[in-house]
Amino acid sequence: RLQQMRPADETVGSRASRECAATTSGGHLVVLIVCGGILLSAALLTPSKEDLKIGPLTLPSICMLKNTTGIPCPGCGLTRSMVAVVDGDWRGSFAYHRLGPVVVGFLILQLLYRLSWIGLPALRTQVNRAGKLLDWALIPLMALLLINWIPTLMSTVRSLL
């Protein structure tokens, strides 16, 4: 009886493995689409001092903190900075937000990782090692955003006093 049950158990396990792989592939696809969409948007937009433009259309600011209190959030200027990087304007990028180039680099690495994971299934073990490091890199990146915000916040508070 145990021998008869093993093939059925293996079939169920194989099915579960395929379902898990499909879910994981879906997660990689979502991150790939989001990162690609952000980079594509950065290529289509044009930065200006206080806003972004797509062709002649000026896009409104979506920062709730700045719109309600006048205090910029840790990400204020980040989109304009990423747009400037994609346009090749490094000096402008650093003027909008000091971490814009770092975020663009992170998005490109995420894009490459997800493309490799989806497109090279035979190398997933090696790709996963690099991907885990990249995923963990999000924590120091968030910390850098907060640390970078401190001088901006202090300058804003001083100007309000």
Secondary structure, 3-state, 9-76: HHHHHHHHHHHHHHHHHHHHHHHHHHHHHHHHHHHHCEECCCCEEECCEEECCCCHHHHHHCCCCCCC
Region 135-154: what's the mean pLDDT? 93
Q: What average pLDDT does this structure show over 7-22?
A: 47
Instruction: Retrieve residue 29's tokens.
Output: 């696809």
The answer, yes or no, to whether residue 153 has pLDDT greater than 60, is yes
pLDDT at 22 (0 to 100): 44
The pLDDT-based confidence of 12 (bands split at 50, 70, 90) is very low
How would residue 70 be classed by pLDDT, with cut points 50, 70 and 90? confident
Q: Looking at the predicted structure, is the pLDDT value of residue 20 above 80?
A: no
Q: What is the mean pLDDT of residues 9-30?
A: 60
Query: Who has greater pLDDT, 33 or 51?
Result: 33
Is the pLDDT at 10 greater than 50? The verdict is: no
**How far, in Å, CA of 110 to CA of 33, rounded?**
11
Mean pLDDT of 142-150: 95
Query: Which range among 22-26, 99-103, 139-143, 144-148 shows the weakest confidence by mean pLDDT?
Result: 22-26
How far is the C-alpha of 100 from the C-alpha of 54, rounded, in Å? 19
Compute CA 114 distance to the chain's CA centroid, rounded to the nearest angstrom.
12
54 in Cβ contact with 45 (< 8 Å): yes
